[in-house]
Every structure is written in structure tokens, then in C-alpha cells.
Structure 1
Amino acid sequence: MQPSAVPELAHTRTRPIHWVATATALAGVVALSTLAQPGPATAAQPATGTKTAAAAPPATTGVAFPLTCGTVKAVVTKKATGDLDGDGRPETVAVVHCDAPMGTPPDGVYVLTRAAGSATPRVVATLVDPKDRVTVTDFTLHAGTVTATLLGYSTDSVPSCCPDVKTPAAWTWNGHTFLRSTPAGAHSV
């Protein structure tokens, strides 16, 4: 057997410090990649020679939601934007509840729009009324359909801490109003 012409390399054996250095470098790359996000995608490119100004979706700040909160303020916990009615201007759907100091206040789901040429957003529809005593989870807006899971109570005697009814719901605009349905394949508990 002939001895190797190259001396044995020190880095051919992995040690814990090598794994720590690799994990640290990988964590740094992941952390930096979360800071540099691409802009939003658009489905269509404008025709050559035309200038289009994309309408900004209505903001939720400063909106008077139809919610009675007393001395606390209304808080937007979730929101999504999209063109729900096909008019080319985006709407904002917001999940809102009172900022109660304790407990789980019921949610309301509201659709906001802005009239053409107006800067002021306004509530045009209530999809979930806080009087229904539900909490909204799994909230999304995709392809003009708002979907959510509603956690509620079978009777008034069920404690507020422990919702016992889970109802999937979807809302779509039919040209006149938002219609509520149960998404395909959804089941209630």
C-alpha cells in the first residue's frame, strides 16, 4: 500500500463546532431572507403605452365600525384585501372586536370599500355580527370568496371560555349582496 502524497486534512472529521457553525450560517441566511420580500404579484400586465394606477385597498384606520365597545376601542385583528365585486377596485375585509381587558370578545367581520374618487373608506356589509357571539379563525380571502371558521356556542349556558360549535363559512358577492354558504368538504363539530 502506497502512502498518500497529501497529508491528512484536519477538516475531514466533523466535530460539533462544525455543525454549530453551519446551523448559525443557515439561520443567518433564513433571517436575512425574511427581511427581503418580493413585491405583490399581479395577474396581468398593462398594455403597452397605457398607464394604470392600481387602486389601493381601503385602510382600516379611522373607520367607524358598527360595534359598540363602550370605553374601550375597536381592534382590527385580521384583514384581507381583494376585488370582491369585480369592479376593478379592491375591498378590505376586516375581523374586528372590542379591545376587552380580559376574556375573548366576539368578533365582527366587515367589508370596507371606497367610492370611486373618494379617499374615505366605509363599511358596506357585515358578514358576521358581534351579537352572534362567535370568534373568527382560519380567515382568508381568495378568488373573491371570504372564508372563515366560526367558533360559537350551542346554548347561552356554555361558558365563554369554551366554544362548543365550530362552523365553516364562506361568503361570495352575487351582484346584490353577500351570500353565505358552507365550503365544500367542511364539517361542523
Structure 2
Amino acid sequence: MQLSAGPDLPHTRSGAVHWLSTAAVLAAVVAAAALVQPADASTKDGAADAKPPRPTVPAPDPHAAKYPLTCAPGASVDVTASVKDDMDGDGRPETVAVVRCQSDTGTPPNGVYVLSSAKSGKGAPKIAAMLVNPRDDRQVTGLYARGAVVGATVLGYSSDSTPRCCPDMKRDYTWEWRTDTYVAIPGAAPGSI
């Protein structure tokens, strides 16, 4: 003998209203759970939303540094570009500066220097590294810094007869901080501008 299922009971049928009300209650429970935190929850001990500590020493002022340039008598040193970042990971920002001797005519060569400040933050910035030597007769554009990497485009001349107003060679460079020194990483071989 087989048992008959009989008529459907009202509580066993599901309709649109039943499913909508169930979804609404479930959404309310999930939202409430997301908003409620335990009483001992905090943002310390390396929590993802904790802000990194601000540097206690400001980045070196590129205009306050003394650069090893031999300029004409009475000519000042121009800082044509600078960027700031913590490049060596010590928690104190460095400044990278592109500098040249001031000139009313011609295009003097650029030097690129990494500046660091004293631990106290007082006194003139110190030159920590020279990335481009002005004696190499180069122009530098597009300076940037991202963490341990400094990058720029270095312009040069294919011969001594090329006018110094108009560099005709271009190469991108990056300098990467590795084990207490900057390592130059040249881009593709130089080509004609």
C-alpha cells in the first residue's frame, strides 16, 4: 500500500513573496554582521588600514645643497628638476636634483645628484650619489622617482661638431638602489632623435 501525498499544505508552497522576504532578511543579517566589530578590534599591529608613519626628517632642499660644479665667475647653480622619495628604504626621504650652471646663452651640461639630509634634519643636504656627471656633457629630462628606482631620459651628442643647443642622441636610464649603491640600468641603445 502506497501512502498518498495528499493535498499541498500551505507552509510547503513557496512563492515570490516568500523568496523576497527571505532574501531581505538574509541581506539585513549580513549587513549587520559587517557593521558590528568585536569590542577589542583595533587598527594597530600592522592592520591594512593603518597609515604609515610620516617621516620625521623632511626631504633635503635641492636649493640648499652645495654641488661640485665649476661655474663661470658670478654664475649660480640652477636646479632644473627635482623629485623626492625614500629611495634607500631607511624611512627618510632623499631628493634627486638635476642641476647645471646658470647661463644666459648656450646649454650647459646637467649633473644629477642624490641628496640626503643629516639624521637630525639640520644642516645643508649632503650629496649621497652622482648619477650623471656634468663632465659627460649630457642633458637630462623626464626625471622621476618611484621607491628605490630613479629614472630619466639622457640626451647627448653624436660628435663634438654637433651644436650644444641641439642634442641628437637619446637614451632612457634607470638607477636602482641595490646594496648601498645606485646601479645604472640603461634602456635601449641610443638612437637618433
Is TM-score (shorter-chain normalized) higher than 0.5?
Answer: yes
- Distance, in Å, in 2 between the alignment partners of 1:172 and 1:137 is 18
Specify the alignment match of 2:156 in structure 1: 152
Q: Percent identity?
A: 43
Q: How many aligned residue pairs are there?
A: 141
Where does 1:70-109 land on structure 2 (aligned, <5 Å)?
70-71=72-73, 72-109=75-112
User: RMSD of the alignment, in Å?
Assistant: 1.9
> 1:52/1:176 Cα in 2 relative to 1: closer, same or farther (>3 Å)?
closer
Question: Counterpart of 2:141 in 1: which secondary structure?
Answer: strand
Q: 1:173 aligns with which of 174, 177, 181?
A: 177
1:46-69 deviation per Cα after TM superposition (whole angstroms, max 9, x unaligned): 5xxxx8554310112231101111
Q: Partner letter of residue 131 of structure 1?
A: R
1:122-148 deviation per Cα after TM superposition (whole angstroms, max 9, x unaligned): 111110011111110111111321110
Runs of 4+ with >3 A deviation: 51-54
Q: Structure 1 unaligned runs (5+)?
A: 1-42
TM-score between the two structures when normalised by the length of structure 1: 0.69
Mapped contact 2:60–2:116 kept (Cα < 8 A): yes
Question: Counterpart of 2:144 in 1: which secondary structure?
Answer: strand
> 1:68/1:56 Cα in 2 relative to 1: closer, same or farther (>3 Å)?
same
Mapped contact 2:80–2:99 kept (Cα < 8 A): yes
Specify the alignment match of 2:67 in structure 1: 65
Specify the alignment match of 1:7 in structure 2: none
Where does 1:18-33 land on structure 2 (aligned, <5 Å)?
none
Mapped contact 2:55–2:92 kept (Cα < 8 A): no
- Structure number, greater radius of gyration: 2
Q: Structure 2 unaligned runs (5+)?
A: 1-48
Question: Counterpart of 1:65 in 2: which secondary structure?
Answer: coil
